[in-house]
Amino acid sequence: MTFQAIYTLTDLRVLLRETAPAHEFDAKQKEQAQRLLENLERQVGSLKQEMLK
Amino acid sequence: MKCGNGIEARQVDELFINIDPIQAGGRLTADAMKAVIAYGDGYSVCDNCRKPNRLDYISKPPIAEFHKDVAKWLNMDAVRTVPGARRGFQAVAHTYVKKGDPVLLTTLSHYTEFLAVEESGGIAREIMANEQKLVTPDATAEKIEAVKREFGRAPVLAFIDHVDYQYGNMHDVAGIAKVCRQYDVPILYNGAYTVGTLPVDGKAFGVDFVVGSGHKSMASPAPSGILATTAEREKEVFRTTQIVGDVTNRKFGIKEPEMMGCTLMGVTLVGMMASFPHVKERVKHFDRELANHQIVMDALLSIEGTKCLSEYPRKHTMTRIDTIGSFDTVAETHKKRGYYLQSALEEKGITGVIPGATKVWKFNTYGMTTKQAEHLGRSFVAIARENGIAVKG
């Protein structure tokens, strides 16, 4: 799960590179960012459950 | 944000459009970044190394398959990964060049090619590029003849850069290789600026060796690269060790002296491997890269006094530009002197120009989106206008 979360952050990092310097997202990029951030929240939630039980 | 004692997390490409001429093609893909995270430990690719204990035989991760795929992709017969193109030059020079041997380079050759020749005791003889800064087959033939007159024999090796680092010009490698073959001169194709960005077919070029740079053009961590060769030359440059210890009687299996055994044993190799499918795909779309580059060239050349020193129309995304008649005229009186251009670019989210450079400089647009290319072009024009430099149209 740690890799999944890091990899999701990596995809977000690449999105930042593709949109530098203004980071103005078009509709597709906004959708992608939203999906990645939701995945990240889910992955961090799972990590909390597993590591803090 | 620090990632170690005194080590600032690098965010250059997240915060800026980076036009550094040597960095563009080496930026990692997302998959390479992910592989780097998982394989950062030293000998990380060696978990499943089994007899005959050599890097290019490891099947998990699929390193052996990667080697075969790269050879096929370049239309060559054998490949090894090397710590940078320069180590490929070194291996080939060390195999073929002996003390006092003449070696053919060009007036646009990279310094590491010279060093590889020097280390082997060779003597550099350069083919002169013409006024257009192009190395031609005719000039190659003339130089080989001159070498024959001087040394009584042909050069033992030729290094030819397909796209040179000084102008980003594309040279007629196939024509040059044809001439070299007529004189039985083995030829090394330096693809530091092509392997990984443009389609490369070693056999079609008629070359004996193809060298590529992972960190320059294959979206890979440094230092990484590839050395590819033909079945004929494979036995020579990738010969296996013969040495035996006199006390222990030890031998070292199929290790290759020119490779010093195994080469890329961790993050560099998996980074290359992870990017490879993307690299194979991206070379098919260099036309898009040139279209983006043209957006920037059009903008730069609309600024009065700006000249393109590279061949034009452009065939590569790295270009040498002369702004002595434009941006440099402002540097003389600007309070930031020559640093104003870099400073103005950074204010617009652009980095990669050598600090203080306003006369002659290089930039590379490889990997940029069209939106980023448009921003870059607009920014150059805006900086010119802000500083009273005339802009056409």
Q: Tell me: the pLDDT tens digits for B193-207?
A: 999 999 999 999 999
Closest residue, chain A, to B12 (C-alpha): A17
Residue B393 falls within a domain, yes or no?
Answer: no
**Domain identity same for B172 and B311:** no
Check: CB of residue B140 under 8 Å from CB of residue B179: yes
Tell me: do B211 and B297 sit in the same domain: no
Separation of alpha carbons B198 and B201, rounded Å: 10
A-B C-beta contacts closer than 8 Å: 41
| β-strands B123-127, B102-106 pairing | parallel
Domain match, B233 and B370 both: no
- Between CA B365 and CA B191 the distance in angstroms is 18
Query: Do B309 and B271 have their domain in common?
Result: no
- Report yes or no on B61 lying in a domain: yes
pLDDT at B191: 98
- pLDDT above 80 (res A1): no
Instruction: List the structure tokens of B31.
Output: 């998959």
Domain count of the fold of chain B = 2
The verdict on B181 and B244 lying in the same domain is yes
Task: Domain of residue B259: give its range.
Answer: 29-282
**Contact A21/B13, CB-based, under 8 Å?**
no
Q: Do residues B167 and B190 share a domain?
A: yes
Q: What is the Cα B323 distance to its own chain's centre?
A: 25
Measured CA to CA, the distance from residue B187 to residue B206 in angstroms comes to 8
Residues of B in contact with A19 (CB under 8 A): 369, 371
Q: Verify that B289 and B278 share a domain, yes or no.
A: no
What residue segments make up the domains of chain A, in order of their start? 2-51
Looking up residue B85, the CATH number of its domain turns out to be: 3.40.640.10
Looking up residue B321, the CATH number of its domain turns out to be: 3.90.1150.10
Indicate whether B177 and B308 sit together in one domain.
Answer: no
* Cα–Cα distance for residue pair B283/B227, rounded to 1 Å: 18
Q: Six-digit token pair at B154? A: 């042909």
* B369–A21 C-beta distance less than 8 A: no
Whether chain B has a CB inside 8 Å of the CB on A22: the answer is yes
Q: Which of B263, B282, B301 is the last residue in one of the domains?
A: B282
Same domain for B156 and B78?
Answer: yes
* A17 touches B: beta carbon within 8 Å: yes
- Whether B97 and B122 have beta carbons less than 8 Å apart is answered as yes
Structural domain includes residue B351 = yes
Q: Is residue B391 domain-resident?
A: no
Q: pLDDT of B141-182, one tens digit each?
A: 999 999 999 999 999 999 999 999 999 999 999 999 999 999
Which among A3, A11, A16 has the least Cβ separation from residue B14?
A16
Q: Which of B13, B37, B38 sits opposite A20 (nearest CB)?
A: B13
pLDDT of B1 reads 87
Residue B208's contacts (CB-CB under 8 Å, 6 or more residues apart) are B186, B187, B188, B229, B230, B232, B233
Position B110 pLDDT exceeds 90: yes
pLDDT tens per residue, range B283-323: 999 999 999 999 999 999 999 999 999 999 999 999 999 99
Among B234, B257, B282, which residue terminates a domain?
B282
pLDDT, residue B393, reads 80
Of B282, B314, B348, at which residue does a domain stop?
B282
Is residue A2 very low, low, confident or very high in pLDDT (cuts 50, 70, 90)? Answer: confident
